[in-house]
Each structure stands twice: as C-alpha cells, then as structure tokens.
Amino acid sequence: MGSIKIEQLIEKYLDAETTLKEEAVLQDYFVNSKVAPHLEEYRALFGYFAESKNERYTKTIQLKTQKKNWKWLSVAASVVLLFSVYTGYNNIQPSEPEFSDAEIAEAQIAFEELKGAFQILSKNLDKGTAAIGYLGEYETTTNKIFKQPVK
Amino acid sequence: MNQSEFLNMVMPFKDKVFRFSKRLLVSTEEAEDATQELFLKLWKNREKISSYKNVEAFAMTMTKNYCFDRLKSKQASNLSLVHSNYKENGTSLDKKTNLNDSVSIVHQLIAKLPEQQRMIIQLRDVEQYEYEEIGKMLDIKQTAVRVALSRARKTIREKLIKQHNYGIN
C-alpha cells in the first residue's frame, strides 16, 4: 500500500474517524511492512498496540463455592439434630405406660429392698460419725497439756 | 447456570478484563487481583447476567468501576499509584518492553494520559471495540469517545515525534 494512502488514513486515525477495518489496515502496515521514514514514529505506536494484545491473564479464575457448601452443611446438620430430637422424644413418650401391673409391683418390692439397704448403710455411717466425736475430746485435752505456739 | 457454562461465557474476555484493569491500576498483581475479584462478582450475579444482552460490555463497565474504587481506596490510604511503587514481576510483555525502548516509551506516554483517555485508548486501539460499545461501557456519548480518543492519539503522536527528533526522555 502506498504511503499516500497511509497518510490519509493516519489523518483520519488522529481525528478518531477511522473504522476498525481501517485501523487494522494501519496496524498491518506498520507492523508487517517496510515503513516510510517520515512515518517511523507510528511504528512504535502500532507495534505497542499489537504487543499489548498478547498479554494474557495466566492465573485460573477461582469461583469460591466452598463457602456456600458450608452453609448448606450447617443447615443439614440442624435438620438432622431436630429430627433426632423429635424421634428421641417420641421414643421416650409412649414407653411409660407399657409396664404391666406385675412389673410395677416387682419394681415396688425392689425399691423397698433398696430403701432398707440404704437405711442400714446410713445407720452404720451414723455409728462411724459418733465414734469420730471422741477425737474432738482428744484434741481439747492435748491442747491443755502442750504449750500453744505464741504468735 | 453451572460453573462450566459460566466459565465458557466469561473466558473469551478474561484477558481483556485483565489488560483493562492493568491499564488503570498499573501493577500486574493489582490487576490480577482485580480480575479474580471481578469474575467472582460476576459469578455471584450470574442470575442477573443472563438477562444482559452484552455480558462483555457489562463486565468491562464493572471492571472500570471496580478499578476506580480500588484507586480511590489507595488514595485514601495515602498510597499514590506511581509506576515506581510497583515491582513488575516480569510478564512477557514487560520484558519485551524493556528490550524494545520505543515500545516502552509508548507505554509510558499512555500511562501519563488522563484516566478517561487512557481507558478509551485501551478499549479502542488494543481491544478494538466499536465507538458505540465504548460509549456504553464508560457511560458517555459516542462523540465524547471520539473527541477523547482523538485527543489521546494526537498527544501521543506529538510526544513521540518530539522524542524521535530530540531523543528526550
């Protein structure tokens, strides 16, 4: 392409009246062909534009969806918790009236026996504490015999 | 919309989003963070997205707004975004621009342009969007896009000619 045509295009280019096609022609001329000396400064310009286009975003784009998963996990956990509480409650409720009279009577007897056993145990404990009472007496008599350290 | 459908939809313009945010935020790392953050936002709003005609344009608008927010918060914390604040961790482009002086000069000249012009140069001359699309993305009129673009191109050209003639940096 003749440099006169290029000069005309350059004029249009500077006035921002070129189309994208015309700009592509300019770019091609300045990057790929021998440039007339008086148009030398445009070579750097179009060379720069051509080169800039090659810069890439090399990292991978991360779309963090893990956050969301955690949220759903907590929802699921609370559902499980509620469900288990509900079923657990239902299991306990109907179990009470299921005992037969014989069983209740048996339990009553066992309870009485246990009560007797505990009474015996507490009586024996009382004996023990009564015996400890003597120790108090021992303490007061030793205090009389030995001199108390003066503070 | 599931993940792979979403990714298929947004993948074609992920590099554009990245380059656009880099143009605004300057640092590669900041731009990478912004890109990641932006796609996460899009993912969260995926139900809304399907109702948009042009998801790409919508994404670019979001990128612009997000980067502006980042820049504001930087200024608020007294951290000015000067190019020298950032160690570029050698992407291929940076290495190349260091090798090729005249190309890196263009990079610096664009970086000195006002934000609006910088965005329009990026969207037009690098990403090759139509004037109409750019107008929608930046929420300005097409004529305003053309005026700003013309100004930006002329500024860069003048400075390039100056440097070409006198070799001033």
pLDDT (tens digit per residue) in A81-110? 999 999 888 877 665 667 788 888 999 999
Q: How many CB pairs under 8 A join A and B?
A: 93
Q: Which residue of chain A has the CA closest to B32?
A: A57
Name residue B37's amino acid.
E
CB contacts, 8 Å: A40 with chain B: 164
The contacts of residue A15 (CB under 8 Å, 6+ apart) are B146, B150
- Contact present, B25 and B70 (Cβ < 8 Å): yes
- Cα distance between residue B166 and residue B162, in whole Å: 6
Confidence band (pLDDT; 50, 70, 90) for B153? very high
- Cα distance between residue B157 and residue B109, in whole Å: 10
| Structure token pair of residue B47 | 């139900």
- Contact present, B9 and B22 (Cβ < 8 Å): no
Confidence band (pLDDT; 50, 70, 90) for B95? very low
Burial class (CB in 10 A: 0-12, 13-18, 19+), A128: exposed
Highest CATH level, class, for B1-87: mainly alpha
| Structure token pair of residue A107 | 């339990």
- Cα distance between residue B86 and residue B88, in whole Å: 6
Q: Which of residues 6-35 of B touch A (CB under 8 A)?
A: 6-7, 10, 14-15, 17-19, 22, 32, 35
Burial class (CB in 10 A: 0-12, 13-18, 19+), B167: exposed
- Cα distance between residue B109 and residue B100, in whole Å: 15
Q: A33-47, A131-145, B33-47: which range is least confident on average?
A: A131-145
Three-state SS at B168: coil
Q: B94 or A78: which carries more pLDDT confidence?
A: A78
Q: Which residue of chain A has the CA closest to B153?
A: A14
Q: What is the mean pLDDT of chain A?
A: 85
CB contacts, 8 Å: A54 with chain B: 92-93
Among A28, A48, A66, most B C-beta atoms within 10 A, so best to mutate, is: A48
pLDDT in tens, B17-49: 999 999 999 888 889 999 999 999 998 888 888
- Contact present, A43 and A35 (Cβ < 8 Å): yes
CB contacts, 8 Å: A24 with chain B: 128
Nearest to A14 among B92, B105, B150 (CB): B150
Q: What ipTM was reported for this prediction?
A: 0.79
Q: Which residue of chain B has the CA closest to A23?
A: B125
CA–CA min distance A43, chain B (Å): 9
B90-169 folds as: Arc Repressor Mutant, subunit A (1.10.10)
Three-state SS at B100: coil
Confidence band (pLDDT; 50, 70, 90) for B98? very low
How much is the average pLDDT of A48-75? Answer: 81
In percent, the amount of chain A with pLDDT more than 90 equals 36
- Cα distance between residue B53 and residue A53, in whole Å: 25
Confidence band (pLDDT; 50, 70, 90) for B54? confident
Domain boundaries, chain B: 1-87, 90-169
Confidence band (pLDDT; 50, 70, 90) for A68? low
**Residue B49 confidence (pLDDT):** 82
Q: Which of A55, A67, A71 is nearest to B40 (CA)?
A: A67
Enter the DSSP assignment of B20: H
How much is the average pLDDT of B116-127? Answer: 94
| Structure token pair of residue B93 | 């482009």
How much is the average pLDDT of B105-116? Answer: 91
Confidence band (pLDDT; 50, 70, 90) for B96? very low
Domain boundaries, chain A: 3-52, 100-144
Enter the DSSP assignment of A16: T
Q: What is the mean pLDDT of chain B?
A: 83
Confidence band (pLDDT; 50, 70, 90) for A65? low
Q: A47-56, A64-73, A97-106, A137-146: which range is least confident on average?
A: A64-73
Cα three-residue angle B14-A25-B166, rounded to 5 degrees:
90
A17 touches chain B (CB under 8 A): yes
